[in-house]
Amino acid sequence: MVRALSGLGHQVDLLTYPQGQPSPVPGVRHLRSLPLPVGRVRPGPSLAKVVLDVPFMVEAWARVIFGRYDAVHAVEEAAHLVAPLLRLVKRPFVMDVDSSVPDQLRYSGFATRGPLLWAAEALERRALRQARTVITVCRSLTEGVRERAPGAAVFQVEDPPLVDPSAHASAADVATLRAALGLPAGPVVLYSGNFEPYQGVELLVDAAALVPEASFVFMGGDGPAVDAMRARVAARARCVFTGTRPPTDLPVFLSLADVLVSPRVKGTNTPFKVYSYMAANKPLVATRIPTHTQLLDDSLAILVEPTAEALAEGIRHALTKPIDAGVRAARARALLEREFSPARFREKVAEAYAHLQSSGS
């Protein structure tokens, strides 16, 4: 998003938590909130994020009050934190809905009922109705916004792939990675992403025992989550857990894989990884739930029920019927290049910001 805004000629101050490595972008000044000793921040809701939100909100409020900004672009819960002040200072803002925070609280099990969930729902409704422009990343989120805030100006801007569709890892790099992971000859099934419960990683681990001829690589996760999955691996399964890897490693992992899998079991937003999977032009096996079917159909991917047995059957289909799987992958790649390329992303962002500017005149 900040690359797109910078490319459109905007000057951007990007405020984030203190964790993470710098990633310089021309036209973007990366600011960080005050660091606190909370350890590594994992994906999804957590107490660490609640603690870090306090200095983040203080920093955001100070910059809104004293900065000379034309607009504020607030992502997910950041919109909840700054919306009350923006109303007071009459500053327009864009609410970027990558996911619904109340839904994330439910899916993660962090808050399934009670005051925290009620507060999140109330803050989200208030921010949606106040925002001059709302950006969503998929159809289900667009529909949810229109239901909660019927008067909102909603623009659907799907994620572009994390990797350049034209980039390919060399055969030497793929061979080096295979050796580093200790993989034998034979097909490779890849999952990339975090290990939050809604991702369905445990189903894929169980499916690995039913496809012993393939090696299953899990790119992501760390600490107790990886330990729990390792303990779940059956004797016949061949599973390799790499832990968290930088996004720059993704192209070579995608080139290594014969089949890509998104085993998600819950959620409304389309997983970010799916766009990168489509860019890779590799067979994709995904669960047949709305988070996937709002983007994918049976002509683009091998869609299966969210069970270990069905995932294993879908993976075997991709491995034993490569022509059919390849045709679906090619269609998915063509759709991505037509509708979800970085260029289309910038066009959609430009439309959203044109509305922001015209609605204030």
The pTM score is: 0.82
Question: pLDDT (tens digit, 9 = 90+) per residue, 270-314?
Answer: 988 999 999 999 999 999 999 999 999 999 999 999 999 999 999
Three-class SS of residue 38? coil
Instruction: For residue 40, count other CB atoms closer than 10 A to its CB.
Output: 9
| pLDDT tens figures, 68-122 | 899 999 998 899 889 999 989 999 999 999 888 777 777 767 777 788 788 888 8
For residues 247 and 269, the answer to whether their CB atoms sit within 8 Å is: no
Render pLDDT for 230-272 as a digit per residue (tens, 0 to 9). 999 988 899 999 999 988 899 999 999 999 999 999 887 898 8
Q: Mean pLDDT score of the chain, rounded to an integer?
A: 91
Q: φ, ψ for residue 66 (rounded to 5)? A: -100, -15
**Calpha distance 211→304 (Å, rounded):** 15
State how far the Cα of 19 lies from the Cα of 34, in Å rounded to an integer: 10
Question: How many other β-carbons are positioned within 10 Å of the β-carbon of residue 250?
Answer: 21
| Phi/psi-derived region of residue 154, left when phi > 0, alpha when psi is between -120 and 50, beta in every other case | beta
Domains and CATH numbers, the chain: 2-160 (3.40.50.2000), 171-339 (3.40.50.2000)
Q: What is the pLDDT of residue 113?
A: 78
Contact 242, 218 (CB under 8 A): yes
